[in-house]
Homo-oligomer: A and B are copies of this chain.
Amino acid sequence: MATIRGRIAARSLVAGARLPSVRALAKSSDVSVSTVAEAYSRLVAEGAIVSRPGSGFYVGREPAPMQLSAVGPKLDRAIDPLWVSRQSLETDDAVPKPGCGWLPASWMAEQSLRKALRTASRAGVDSLANYTSPLGLPPLRQLISRRLGERGVEAAPDQIVLTESGTQAIDLVCRFLLEPGDTVLVDDPCYFNFQALLRAHRVRIVSVPYAPAGPDVEALATTLAAERPRLYITNSAVHNPTGATLSPVTAHRVLKLADQHGLVIIEDDIFADFEHSPAPRLAGFDGLDRVIEIGSFSKTLSASVRCGFIAVKRDWLEPLIELKIATMFGGARLNEELVLSVLGDGRFHRHAEAVRTRLERARRSTGERLGELGITPWLEPRAGMFLWCTLPDGSDSAELARAALAEGMVLAPGNAFSAAQTAGNFMRFNVAQMDEGSFAVLRRLL
């Protein structure tokens, strides 16, 4: 019953589709005919399927709405990508969240934001109340173009499309490139919301192991040949969750394989502001030919003033703008004005520098204190807020996360990031969200 319900919810069985015969299903699932017959008759009673005598069983007319949690493998709640996101978002602002993917608000560009709001309160009325142009505020796109250039990514202002967030930017590009049933490649491990987002696009997810200098190139070659994915989503500079950095050699090899296999790549670069000096970017090497660059300001500027962007080759601009208008209509003009104002404030750059230094110190001290508990970082990241760690003595991170939640602490267990479920012994820690209490809970539970 769960299998059939799951397939209906996931739309792999659509309204009106014929179910396998009782006999065929019994054989393929290795259960008795009477078990299947009983399951079917209960599903008929539920209204999920209908029986047409002499013809067979069919999915009922009214399809169930999309249930992301029913799509994909059935996971323990503690490692379900959606559930981990939701726990982090639902927990009160004041509670430290070692499992979440952002800095505490007190680490953000508070003074620059206050100044930007005061400036906005005196802006022209169109800035306050009118729609923005389809691409988004021109001076902000100019500034983003310059900032991308500093990281080696050449994108003219008219190749930059503003969106309402980094997530929404990825979503828009997925809509543009994917059709249901396509195959998409992610890293193992990868940012857990990539999996949830891809489920919403009804695509099949495959993964390659992530090594300290980027994806495992040999595994990538094999997977591209065998699975023929349309798209690969990754982070290069500060990889989530591992904190790893792509090497120039790996960048070259990944792009060579992508060329051979007609693979498009989304490079999600939302942690760029955490870098002391820029690491290689796939989009920089490739020149935005088959790489689409995504960015946002949620991690260093504000997660409340939402604004993201897409840098893309000119061939793809027109249909992407049309899709933006159809699904969002106008953009978030005020947010664009505020981001522009903060980025233009000298204080913001001193603030960003201070955050980088503070994170460096927090990574070091958190690494040491975790080490005392037998929790070992997989590598020493060059930048960012994450430490991707193994737990002592092969402990199960889902179990630890469940126990921690009972004490009010949200953790991010390894398998939430692992499409192949190979990270049961890993945990991602956010060094900016660890306080004395967090260490005390960990010590007690381990």
Contacts and interface: CB of A to CB of B under 8 A. Distances in A.
A216 B120 CA distance: 47
Contacts of A82: 322, 325-326
A7 to B, nearest CB: 13
Interface stretch (A101-109, A245-253, A357-365, A421-429): A101-109
Interface string A162-187: 00111110010001110110100000
Contacts of A131: 89, 102, 303-304
B316 A65 contact: yes
Interface residues on A, range: 35 or more
Given A327-B168, A332-B306, A335-B332, A105 B86 contact: no
A331 B228 CA distance: 35
B126 A93 contact: yes
A235 to B, nearest CB: 15
B200 A304 contact: no
B319 A262 contact: no
Contacts of A222: none
A114 B121 contact: yes
Interface stretch (A66-74, A383-391, A393-401, A436-444): A66-74
A134 B332 contact: no
A316 B66 CA distance: 10
Where chain A touches its partner, the secondary structure class is: helix
A90 interface: yes
Interface in A292-327: 298, 301-306, 316, 319, 321-323, 325-327
A230 B69 contact: no
Nearest to A120: B117
Interface in A110-168: 110, 113-115, 117-118, 120-122, 125-134, 164-168
A301 B164 CA distance: 19
A62 interface: yes
Interface string A258-276: 0000100000000000000
B89 A325 contact: yes
B114 A122 contact: yes
A63 interface: yes
A199 interface: yes
B262 A303 contact: no
A410 to B, nearest CB: 13
Interface string A187-202: 0000001001101101
B328 A89 contact: no
B125 A329 contact: no
Contacts of A166: 329
11 contacts: A68-B322, A102-B131, A114-B128, A117-B117, A118-B121, A121-B121, A127-B304, A164-B164, A164-B168, A200-B327, A306-B333
